[in-house]
């Protein structure tokens, strides 16, 4: 199996305090925090150019001819959201807006990202796609005041196109490396937060025939989530750190396949990374219900083609 890295939430509090003591000080180009046009260049590791890691996002997620890897690209105007982690961690904003939207500048696999940002030299910004709302509160994490945003896995329809547009969550931390009066520059390394799977199912009694899918239900077969699956996860970030934690759930993840009234032979799903996970899969179609279990470790940024054996449960 080959892997590649890919690539709704809380409202963010807006703070109105000023980082400087007077308007005169903010007009001086001393690298202080002010509104600038920020241009961000993406930094990739060597593996990205070999197609083993996907450090980019969206416009399209295209399955390659080998059937085991995906390619991705930006579309001009793709919208991302930033949050100034430096201001958040200092427990004050010092700016009119601590968060806002940026855009990909062209339709290429490695477009720059740009937009107006209130920032200073050496500021660190969280950057996420798809565009989201950051949350912020007074609770510290490891002694830092952190920003938060929520990843929501609900309402998937089993298609790669919808995953690309709404569930291909990528994160990066921007470092502002240069400023002048009106412009700033920075770099970012983006990374995928989820695993994308392509599921096909066969009947244990007749493994030569694929089971068509109208609905796929995914459950964790684990003590903490037995019979359920986390519907959302929360990413917490402060300068130099980010981590994602699944939220509590009271139900399984249901993927309703939208195929113009027909049933699908393969289903794409964005799932949370997990080590030594145990899953129960239920497929519902016009012929009945099928169920089976599987074990897997799902890594962030991994594309997993999986062919699973199910048993019909209503004869």
Question: What are the DSSP calls for 235-272, one per residue?
Answer: EEEETTEEEEEEPP-SS-EEEE--STTS-BS-EEEEE-
Domain for residue 178, yes or no?
yes
Neighbours of 291 (CB within 10 A): 16
Q: Does residue 57 share a domain with residue 184?
A: yes
Six-digit token string for 283? 């497929």
Q: Does residue 181 share a domain with residue 168?
A: yes
Is 60 exceeded by the pLDDT of residue 58? Answer: no
Six-digit token string for 296? 């897997």
Domain for residue 236, yes or no?
no
Q: Does residue 203 share a domain with residue 165?
A: no
Q: Does residue 109 share a domain with residue 138?
A: yes
Q: Does residue 149 share a domain with residue 30?
A: yes
Six-digit token string for 212? 């068509």
Is 60 exceeded by the pLDDT of residue 7? Answer: no
Q: Domain boundary residue among 192, 222, 240?
A: 192
Q: Which residue has the higher pLDDT, 56 or 313?
A: 313
Q: Does residue 141 share a domain with residue 212?
A: no
Q: Which residue has the tokens 């579309």?
A: 75
Six-digit token string for 45? 């590791």
Intra-chain end-to-end CA distance of the chain, in Å: 35
| Residues 269-294: tens digit of each pLDDT | 999 999 999 999 999 999 999 999 99
Domain for residue 15, yes or no?
no
Domain for residue 122, yes or no?
yes
Q: Beta 124-129 vs 79-84: how paired, if at all?
A: antiparallel
What pLDDT, on the 0 to 100 scale, is given for residue 60?
A: 53
What pLDDT, on the 0 to 100 scale, is given for residue 315?
A: 64
Domain for residue 187, yes or no?
yes
Six-digit token string for 25? 């000080």
Q: Does residue 76 share a domain with residue 202?
A: no
Domain that holds residue 274: 195-230+248-312
* Tally of structural domains, the chain: 2
Six-digit token string for 61? 């997620």
Q: Does residue 166 share a domain with residue 222?
A: no
Integer-rounded Cα radius of gyration of the chain: 22
Q: Does residue 117 share a domain with residue 199?
A: no
For residue 163, what is the DSSP state?
I
The CA distance from 233 to 111, in Å, is 28
In this structure, are residues 266 and 156 in contact, taking their beta carbons and an 8 Å threshold?
no
Provide the strand spans (E) within 34-75: 34-42, 60-63, 70-73
Six-digit token string for 230? 């986390």
Contacts of 143 (CB under 8 A, 6+ apart): none
Q: Does residue 252 share a domain with residue 164?
A: no
Is 50 exceeded by the pLDDT of residue 295? Answer: yes
Domain for residue 172, yes or no?
yes
Domain for residue 170, yes or no?
yes
Bridge partners of 270, per DSSP, are: 196
- The CATH number given to whatever domain includes residue 154 is 2.60.40
Q: Does residue 114 share a domain with residue 187?
A: yes
Domain for residue 240, yes or no?
no
Q: Does residue 154 share a domain with residue 168?
A: yes
Q: Domain boundary residue among 192, 216, 240?
A: 192
Six-digit token string for 89? 């961690």
| Residues 171-225: tens digit of each pLDDT | 999 999 999 999 999 999 988 899 999 999 999 988 888 999 999 999 998 888 8
**Residue 92 φ then ψ, to 5°:** -155, 160
* Closest C-alpha to 237, from 122, 19, 43, 81: 81
The CA distance from 211 to 205, in Å, is 11
């Amino acid at each position: 199996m080959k892997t590649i890295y890919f690539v709704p939430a809380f409202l963010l509090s807006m703070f109105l305090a000023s980082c400087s003591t007077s308007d005169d000080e903010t007009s001086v180009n001393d690298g202080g925090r002010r509104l600038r046009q920020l241009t961000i260049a993406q930094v990739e590791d060597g593996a990205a150019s070999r197609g083993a890691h996907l450090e980019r996002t969206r416009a399209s997620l295209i399955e390659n001819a080998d059937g085991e890897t995906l390619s991705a690209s930006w579309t001009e105007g793709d919208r991302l959201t930033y949050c100034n982690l430096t201001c958040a961690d200092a427990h004050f904003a010092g700016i009119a807006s601590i968060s806002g939207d940026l855009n990909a500048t062209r339709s290429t696999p490695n477009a720059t990202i740009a937009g107006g940002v209130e920032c200073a030299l050496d500021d660190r910004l969280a950057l996420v796609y798809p565009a989201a709302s950051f949350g912020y509160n007074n609770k510290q994490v490891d002694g830092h005041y952190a920003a938060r945003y929520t990843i929501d896995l609900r309402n998937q329809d089993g298609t790669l196109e919808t995953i690309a547009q709404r569930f291909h969550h990528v994160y990066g931390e921007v470092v502002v490396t240069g400023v002048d009066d009106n412009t700033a520059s920075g770099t970012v390394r983006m990374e995928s937060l989820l695993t994308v799977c392509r599921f096909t199912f066969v009947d244990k009694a007749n493994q030569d025939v694929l089971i068509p899918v109208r609905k796929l239900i995914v459950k964790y077969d684990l003590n903490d989530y037995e019979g359920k699956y986390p519907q959302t996860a929360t990413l917490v970030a402060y300068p130099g750190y980010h981590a994602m934690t699944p939220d509590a759930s009271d139900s399984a993840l249901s993927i309703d396949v939208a195929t113009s009234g027909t049933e699908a032979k393969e289903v794409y799903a964005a799932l949370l990374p997990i080590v030594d996970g145990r899953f129960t899969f239920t497929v519902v179609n016009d012929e009945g219900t099928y169920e089976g279990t599987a074990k897997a470790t799902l890594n962030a940024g991994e594309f997993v083609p999986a062919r699973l054996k199910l048993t019909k449960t209503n004869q």
